[in-house]
Amino acid sequence: MSSPSSSVQQAREALGQRLREIRKDAGITARELARRAGWHESKCSRLEHGRTPPSDADIRAWTLHCDAAGQADDLIATARGIDGMYVEWRRMERAGLKRAQQSVASLFERTHRFRMYQSWVVPGLLQTPAYTTAILRTVAELRDVPDDVADAVAVRMERQRVLHTGVHSFAVLVEEWVLRTVIGDAEVMAGQLGHLIAVGTLPAVSLGVIPLGAARGIGWPVESFTMYDDVQVNVELVSAHLTVTQPREIEEYAQSFANLAQIAVYGPRARALITSAIDALG
């Protein structure tokens, strides 16, 4: 799989290609466009090759001098969308954890097929209030964001109603080490693992666990991600939240999920691994 940040760069390059095509359709050189816009002549090259993200003013000047002013709004929307693809957690959470949790509500409502892979923690939709509280409390302390953990937990718990509506399906994969990583304390973790067994029996949920020591083949561990239908992938990085919308890259994540699903165990075998993790807590 390509580097997560490549999605952003490829989108910038694609936008640059559109700008280049507009200029060529207008029949003017990059040097002439720079002269008309009052720019250094190297600026057009930087914009066309995706090395410099264009501002709204850059796009309006470009389309104006290329007799394509009618395309400005669409190009500006595209550029702003690229800016939102890679968002640092600190930026996303600076208004509070509750706001960050609320920001995905509409995405969850309109998605029919969820595919989730977690190599870090139990997926949010399958978390208990105590487990979520332990995670968000740590996040608040590490990132120095407003302490609205209780409100954020309430939002996440409310979101879990999508598990019971009958109009969504959830394919969930977790690495076994997620089950054995103690979040909060042993009591919190035991409650979370017991809940995982229960929610794994829901009709809409397919829960797979990738055992420790499994022959990986092509199902390598990767960054945690969630697929929303075949439209969008959200990727969890240490420092940022990445949104993938390029069809080719979405297909890469779909293939990675399929590979990981092949080495996971399900049903009684998955429950046995969860039970073993509970027993290990003592």
- CB-based contact 105:160 (threshold 8 Å): no
Q: What is the pLDDT of residue 98?
A: 63
All domains of the chain, ordered by start, with CATH? 6-83 (1.10.260.40), 86-280 (3.30.870.10)
Count, residues in the chain: 282
Is the pLDDT at 253 greater than 90? The verdict is: yes
Phi, psi of 103 (to 5 degrees): -65, -20
CB 229 within 8 A of CB 111: yes
Mean pLDDT of 105-116: 91
CA 129 remoteness from chain centre:
22
What backbone torsions phi and psi does residue 13 show, to the nearest 5 degrees? Answer: -65, -35
- Separation of alpha carbons 18 and 24, rounded Å: 10
What 3-state class would DSSP assign to 61?
helix
Instruction: For residue 114, give the 3-state DSSP assignment.
Output: strand
Q: What is the C-alpha end-to-end distance of the chain, expressed in Å?
A: 39
Per-residue confidence band for 99, with pLDDT thresholds at 50, 70 and 90 = low
Given a cut of 70, whether residue 102 has pLDDT beyond it is no
Q: Which of 26, 18, 25, 86 is nearest to 54 (CA)?
A: 18
The predicted pLDDT at position 86 comes to 62
The tokens of 39 are what? 């720019």
Does residue 201 have a pLDDT over 70? yes
Q: For 21-43, how does the pLDDT look when each residue is reduced to its tens digit (9 = 90+)?
A: 999 999 999 999 999 999 998 99
pLDDT at 280: 97
Instruction: Judge contact between 199 and 157, C-beta under 8 A.
Output: no
On whether the CB atoms of residues 117 and 126 are closer than 8 A, the answer is no
**Rounded Cα gap, residues 129 and 150, in angstroms:** 9
Q: What local confidence, expressed as pLDDT, does residue 75 receive?
A: 86
**Cβ-contact 153, 128 below 8 angstroms:** no
* Helix or strand holding residue 23 (H, E): helix 6-26
Helix and strand tally (H, E) in the chain?
14, 7
**Phi and psi at residue 10, in whole multiples of 5°?**
-65, -35
* pLDDT tens readout for residues 132-171: 999 988 888 877 777 788 988 998 899 999 999 888 999 9
> pLDDT per residue over 254-272, tens digit each?
999 999 999 999 999 999 9
Q: Which residue has 């083949």 as its token pair?
A: 217
Average pLDDT of every residue of the chain: 88
* Burial 91-100, CB ≥16 within 10 A → b, else e: ebbeebbbbb
